[in-house]
Structure formats: C-alpha cells, structure tokens
C-alpha cells in the first residue's frame, strides 16, 4: 500500500479538485483521506454516505467547580494563556483560550479544577459516489490539535486500505507548513504539489517544499493555470528542475474547475476534453513514480 | 480600529483584499498592515518598502540542568504535552511539543528546568508611503503558529500613533485563526461564489459566532451562477459589503505581485468596504 499526499502551501490552487479527480480515476483502488480538516471540502464533490461517525477527543480542557472555588487567584496567576476569567460571581475557564496544560489544576488548593477530555471534532468513514472509501473529519469550532485529527484520519485511512487490500491512500493535505501539514506528510511515499504561476504560488511552494525535504519524500508538481503568467510559470519550472521535483503536468487557466464544483462534479465527470486527458496522464505519471 | 481579513477556505483573496485595502486607505491616511499568516506570509510580495526593523522571535522552553536534577520525574508527570520525558538518567525536552505553560519549570522542586528562549520566527517591519507594514514569518520546521501570532499582536498593540490597523489572517477555523482575530473590532470574511466557498464561509461564521465577533462578508471573484452563497448571507443577516468581480486582468496583476485597487470595479468595492468600516466604528 502506497500513500500519496497532495499539498499546495497556498490555498485555492485547485488541490481538492485535482485530488477528487484522481479519486475518480483510481476508484475502488483508492482510500481517500481528507486531511484538510480545518476546511474540509472533499465531501462536496465525492458525496459520501457517512457509514460510520465518531467523536474525536484530543487534549484536555480545564473546568472550574464554582462551589469548590475559594477565589484564591492561584490559577489566574499561573495561566500563561489568559484562559481564566475572573467573573464577579466566580472564576471560570475561557474554553477557546485553554490549551489544556493542567497547570491550574496542579496549583489549585481546593481541588476545584478538573481536566476534562476535549471534544475537538468528529471523523467519518464513508463510501463515495465513485466507490472509493473516504475518511474525513469535521474539526470543532476553534479547536486545537488539528494535527492530531489529521493523524487520526490518515491512520484510519491506512487501516481501511490494508483491511480491504486497497493499493493507494490518497491524502488531500491542508494549506500552510504547520502541525496539520506535518501530520499529513509523515509516512507518505510521494507528494504531489499543486501550484499556480503567481508570486504567492511559487513563494508558498518553496516553503512547503523545504518542509517536504526534511521528510526525504520524492515529489512531483502540477502547475495549474499555467498560462496565467508565462514568466512565473518558467520560474516554477526552473525551480522544479533545480530541486529535482518531477514536473507532472501543466493545466491551462480555465473556469471549468469552478463550474464543475458548482455542479458537485469532479473534473472527470464534468468534461470529456483537455482536462480529462491531462488528469488521466497526470495520474498515470504519479503511479509510475511509485513503481 | 483593528480589522482582520479572514476566510475559512484558503486562496479566496485574503491577501489581495488586505493589501489593496491598505493601499487604498493609505492614499488618504496612515495605516498599519500586518501579515499574520505566519506559515505562508504573502502580503510582502505586494507591499514592498524600506526595511525598518527585524526582530527575531522566541518562545520559552525548559532546559534541563543535570547537576541539580534529582530525577524525581515530576516534570514528566506535570507535562500534558509529552514535551518533557525522562529516559533513564536523562530528561529530554522536545521543543516542538512544548506549549510554554511553564508548569514543568516552576513546579520543579530543585529548579532544574529553567525556561530559555528558542527561536520560532521573525517579525520585520517596512515603510512605504503611508503604509507601515509588518510581516511575521514562522521558521520552517516550527509547527506552532499561535505563539508567534500572539507575539506579533502584542508588538502591534504597542503602536498607538496609527489607529487604522489591518490584519491578514491565516486560513482555516482552528487555533491560529482564533489567535489572529480574537482582539480585533471587525472581521471581513472573504469568500468566493462556489460550494467550497460557501461551505468554508459557514465554518468561519460559526467560529466568529462562537467568539462573539462582529463580521461581514466580501465576495471575491464574483460572477453569477451560484446563488446559494448570497441566499445564505441574507438568511443569516450577514452583511455582504462588496463584490469584487472575477476578471482575468485582476488575476494577471496578482500573479505578478501587483496591486489592483485602481481598477474601477475594485475601487468601488473598496469604497463600500471603507464606508462600512467607518459605520462600524461609530
């Protein structure tokens, strides 16, 4: 079983549309993991059936029992996260600020503070309309530990692939270079970058590639909207060559991506022309790299 | 007045709006622009200027002092993040996992884990005309954006001679966004007219409601064909302050790192946004 991660650094480059199209092409031989748990969109294209859903707990949250609180201020003094609210009637925890370190619990002289398991979201196993398995999640509002939820989604996807003798786990990664991306990358066999020829696209590609290098994972790149800016497109190609990143394909600037999303279709379902061929070639290209 | 430009989905045009809005306002008055998308800071690609300051940023992590340590293991028990682990006769500290809560350090009976500075990134400031621009950049390999965002906010709060402050927030709905938006007066949520845009806007709205913040919506790359977005805003009484049309000219200028606030359709939208900001201020 091989694991392919699609990432972009920058958002809005077409990463999810391309991943969904790959899922379409690989069909039942792919388990899809939507690891963009902050802003998960894959379900809008793949129409999952939510066969299984489970709450995800990660980390802890402090809770103050107002009856036991003697308002000594010890918790307030040690909290580095401004998470203790001194209300006129009693002390309370500001949940969005609490990081779950438990320092307040340890210094409370009246045992008024207890640490509770933190519900950070939900995760699901589905069959999609394209006959893939999909593991996806919904992060709770303002939740922390999205990196841990990403790891959970990925591990469940891998277990599912093993159990069902599926050859590929296809991961839709999140933007940025922080903990969710690090979680998306760990253990991957191949990385597909989706970028665009804009000054921001290349800037973010370089940063996320610096991160990928630390993991020593082979990678390839799709340049979406390649004709938007020929000069930056060339700069990206030069960078790919320099850094030994395979140049998988160039996709032209076209609003077909948006139109397909509006119809809830992958690019394979949406049209039979140039994009379909490009995507088939790209997917074959990725699979060849894994051989 | 502190205004954050945010969105659930990445790539909807946060940086475009933040930089063009700042430049538009700067035609008349001084403005501070802050890039809080510390993982992928991009505003600086559009707003160059003269470098004024560069400040390395640190977070506090414990450092083990073997001489005085009695290996009582309390530090490991006190760390909820597995950042301090005892391995035989050694205490290992994992900086990436440390949240700088100070519990291990301050509760150590022999003071064997003093907190020391560990580099996480850099804040640079630039001046261009009426724009004072701050860029906050996380070092590659650092996983936690929140401490750097918090420090950047503190830095900006210390400036009081310019009242208009615009923050380019990170994407998503998790902890970095909370940190970037929790102390601002108004949040402008940028979205696009697709089901992805709507889905991620709903997540962003839920987050803003949970924080009890004032917010409005700007629709970027606007074109007809997906009415559900505006229907959602109307149904939930969320003001749609402006629509920036989907134009290849804009995409092309953006791709070259150029601002586009002079394009008439954009200028109109920015005027509406500024008017809304002024009304919110009152």
Chain B residues in contact with A12 (beta carbon < 8 A): 9-12
Q: Do residues A168 and A31 make contact, with C-beta atoms less than 8 angstroms apart?
A: yes
β-strand pairing of B131-138 with B115-128: antiparallel
Chain B CB within 8 Å of residue A256 CB: no
Q: Which residue segment(s) compose the domain that B70 sits in?
A: 64-113
- Claim: this prediction has a pTM higher than 0.80: yes
Residue A284, SS3?
helix
Reported as type and span, the H/E element at residue B127 is: strand B115-128
Considering its fold, how many domains does chain B have in total? 2
Can you tell me the ipTM of this complex?
A: 0.91
Question: What is the per-residue pLDDT for B9?
Answer: 85
The stretch A225-251 carries a mean pLDDT of 97
Rounded to the nearest 10°, the torsion over CA A266, A272, A275, A278 is 110
Which of A40, A116, A177 is best to mutate for the B interface (most B CBs within 10 A)?
Answer: A177
Q: For A217, left (φ over 0), alpha (ψ -120 to 50), or beta?
A: beta
Chain B residues in contact with A203 (beta carbon < 8 A): 40, 42, 45
Which CATH number applies to A58-119: 3.30.70.20, 2.40.50.140, 3.90.78.10, 3.20.20.150?
3.30.70.20
Question: Is the pLDDT reported for residue A87 higher than 90?
Answer: no
Question: Is the pLDDT reported for residue A83 higher than 90?
Answer: yes
Q: Do residues A31 and A133 make contact, with C-beta atoms less than 8 angstroms apart?
A: yes
Residue spans in chain A of domains classed CATH 3.40.50.300: 2-47+128-290
Contact between A228 and B206 using a beta-carbon 8 Å cutoff? no
Question: What is the per-residue pLDDT for A27?
Answer: 92
Q: Do residues B8 and A142 make contact, with C-beta atoms less than 8 angstroms apart?
A: no
d(CA A118, CA A23): 33
Q: Do residues A167 and A1 make contact, with C-beta atoms less than 8 angstroms apart?
A: yes
pLDDT band at A273 (very low <50, low <70, confident <90, very high): confident
Q: How many CB atoms lie within 10 A of CB A242?
A: 8
Beta-bridge mates of residue A53: A124
Question: What is the per-residue pLDDT for A38?
Answer: 85
B186/B151 same-domain check: yes
The stretch B202-225 carries a mean pLDDT of 95
Which of B10, B94, B115 is best to mutate for the A interface (most A CBs within 10 A)?
Answer: B10
Chain A residues in contact with B254 (beta carbon < 8 A): 198, 200
Q: What percent of chain A is modeled with pLDDT above 70?
A: 100
**CATH 2.140.10.30 assigned to A2-47+128-290:** no
Which of A146, A258, A267 is best to mutate for the B interface (most B CBs within 10 A)?
Answer: A258
Nearest chain A Cα distance for residue B178, angstroms: 6
Handedness of CA B222, B227, B233, B234 (dihedral sign): positive
Q: Do residues A18 and A249 make contact, with C-beta atoms less than 8 angstroms apart?
A: no
Comparing CA positions, the residue from A155, A148, A36 lying closest to residue B97 is A148
B194/B258 same-domain check: yes
Q: Where are the alpha helices (DSSP H) in chain B?
A: 14-25, 74-78, 103-106, 146-157, 175-181, 195-211, 228-235, 248-255, 264-281
CATH of the domain at B188: 3.40.50.300
d(CA B67, CA B65): 6
Which of B80, B141, B210 lies nearest to residue A211, judging by beta carbons?
Answer: B141
B102/B134 same-domain check: no
pLDDT band at A200 (very low <50, low <70, confident <90, very high): very high
d(CA A238, CA B263): 32
Q: What percent of chain A is modeled with pLDDT above 90?
A: 86
Q: Do residues B22 and B229 make contact, with C-beta atoms less than 8 angstroms apart?
A: no
Contact between B40 and A262 using a beta-carbon 8 Å cutoff? no
Give contacts of A 159-218 with B, CB under 8 A: 174-180, 182, 196-201, 203-204, 207-208, 210-211, 214
Contact between A182 and B182 using a beta-carbon 8 Å cutoff? no
Rounded to the nearest 10°, the torsion over CA A134, A139, A145, A147 is 30
Q: Do residues A193 and A220 make contact, with C-beta atoms less than 8 angstroms apart?
A: yes
Question: What is the per-residue pLDDT for A103?
Answer: 98
Closest A-chain CA to B248:
A228
Q: What percent of chain B is modeled with pLDDT above 90?
A: 93
d(CA A134, CA A31): 6
CATH of the domain at B98: 3.30.70.20
Question: Is the pLDDT reported for residue A145 higher than 70?
Answer: no
The stretch A226-252 carries a mean pLDDT of 97
The stretch A135-154 carries a mean pLDDT of 87
One DSSP character per residue, A43-107 reads HHHH-----EEEEEEEEEEEEE-TTT-----HHHHH-SSS-EEE-SS-EEE-TTT-----HHHHH
d(CA A41, CA A246): 27
B77/B196 same-domain check: no
pLDDT tens, residue by residue, A38-74: 889 999 999 999 999 999 999 899 999 999 999 999 9
Question: What is the per-residue pLDDT for B188?
Answer: 98
One DSSP character per residue, A181-225 reads HHHHHTT-SEEEEEE-SSHHHHHHHHHHHHHHHHHT-EEEEEETT
B127/B200 same-domain check: yes
B161/B196 same-domain check: yes
CA distance to A152, A186, A200, B250, per residue, from A222 (Å): 27, 21, 16, 23
d(CA A125, CA A123): 7
Token pair in block for residue A236: 């990206």
Residue spans in chain A of domains classed CATH 3.30.70.20: 58-119
B140/B192 same-domain check: yes
Residue B253, SS3?
helix
Chain B CB within 8 Å of residue A233 CB: no
B187/B250 same-domain check: yes
Comparing CA positions, the residue from A203, A130, A156, A129 lying closest to residue A56 is A156
Q: Do residues A176 and A200 make contact, with C-beta atoms less than 8 angstroms apart?
A: no
What is residue B271's DSSP assignment?
H
d(CA A203, CA B126): 19
Question: Is the pLDDT reported for residue B248 higher than 90?
Answer: yes
β-strand pairing of A190-195 with A2-7: parallel
d(CA B70, CA B194): 60
d(CA B4, CA B215): 9
B261/B170 same-domain check: yes
């Amino acid at each position: 079983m091989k694991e392919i991660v699609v990432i972009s650094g920058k958002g809005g480059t077409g990463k999810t549309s391309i991943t969904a199209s790959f899922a379409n092409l690989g069909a039942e031989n792919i388990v899809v993991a939507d690891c963009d748990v902050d802003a998960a969109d894959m379900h809008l294209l793949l129409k999952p059936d939510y066969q299984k859903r489970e709450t995800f707990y990660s980390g802890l949250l402090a809770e103050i029992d107002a009856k036991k609180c003697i308002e000594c201020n010890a918790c307030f003094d040690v909290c580095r996260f401004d998470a203790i609210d001194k209300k006129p009637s009693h002390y309370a925890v500001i949940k969005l600020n609490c990081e779950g370190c438990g320092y307040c619990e340890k210094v409370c002289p009246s045992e008024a503070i207890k640490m509770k398991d933190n519900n950070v979201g939900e995760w699901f196993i589905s069959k999609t309309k394209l006959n893939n398995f999909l593991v996806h999640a919904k992060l709770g509002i303002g939740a922390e530990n999205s990196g841990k939820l990403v790891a959970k989604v990925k591990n469940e996807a891998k277990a599912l692939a093993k159990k069902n003798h599926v050859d590929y786990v296809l991961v839709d990664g999140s933007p940025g270079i922080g903990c969710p991306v690090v979680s998306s990358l760990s253990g991957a066999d191949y990385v597909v970058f989706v970028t665009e020829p804009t000054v921001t696209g290349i800037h973010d590609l370089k940063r996320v590639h610096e991160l990928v290098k630390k993991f020593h994972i082979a990678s390839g790149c799709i340049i979406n909207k390649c004709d938007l800016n020929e000069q930056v497109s060339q700069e990206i190609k030069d960078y790919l060559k320099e850094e030994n990143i395979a140049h998988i394909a160039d996709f032209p600037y076209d609003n077909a991506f948006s139109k397909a999303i509006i119809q809830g279709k992958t690019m394979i379902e949406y049209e039979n022309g140039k994009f379909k061929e490009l995507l088939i070639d790209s997917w074959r290209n990725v699979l060849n790299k894994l051989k | 007045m502190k205004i954050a430009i945010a969105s659930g989905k990445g790539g909807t045009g946060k940086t475009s709006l933040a930089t063009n809005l700042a430049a538009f306002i700067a035609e008349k008055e001084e403005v501070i622009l802050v890039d809080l998308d510390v993982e992928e800071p991009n505003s600086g690609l559009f707003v160059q200027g003269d470098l004024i300051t560069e400040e390395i940023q640190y977070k506090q992590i414990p450092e083990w002092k073997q001489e005085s340590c009695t290996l009582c293991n309390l530090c490991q028990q006190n760390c909820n993040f597995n950042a301090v682990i005892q391995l035989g006769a050694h205490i290992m500290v994992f900086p990436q996992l440390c949240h700088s809560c100070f519990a291990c350090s301050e509760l150590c009976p022999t003071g064997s884990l003093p907190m020391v500075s560990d580099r996480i990134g850099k804040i640079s400031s630039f001046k261009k005309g009426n724009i004072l621009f701050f860029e906050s950049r996380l070092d590659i390999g650092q996983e936690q954006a929140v401490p750097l965002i918090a420090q950047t906010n503190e830095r900006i709060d210390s400036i009081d001679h310019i009242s208009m402050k615009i923050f380019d927030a990170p994407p998503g709905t998790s902890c970095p966004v909370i940190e970037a938006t929790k102390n601002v007066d108004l949040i402008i949520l940028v979205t696009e007219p697709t089901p992805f845009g709507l889905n991620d806007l709903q997540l962003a709205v839920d987050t803003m409601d949970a924080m009890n913040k004032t917010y409005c919506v700007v629709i970027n790359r606007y074109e007809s064909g997906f009415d559900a977005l505006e229907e959602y805003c109307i149904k939930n009484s969320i003001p749609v302050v402006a629509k920036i049309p989907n134009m290849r000219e804009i995409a092309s200028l953006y791709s070259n790192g150029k601002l586009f606030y002079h394009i008439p359709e954009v200028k109109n939208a920015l005027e509406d946004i500024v008017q809304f900001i002024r009304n919110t201020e009152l």
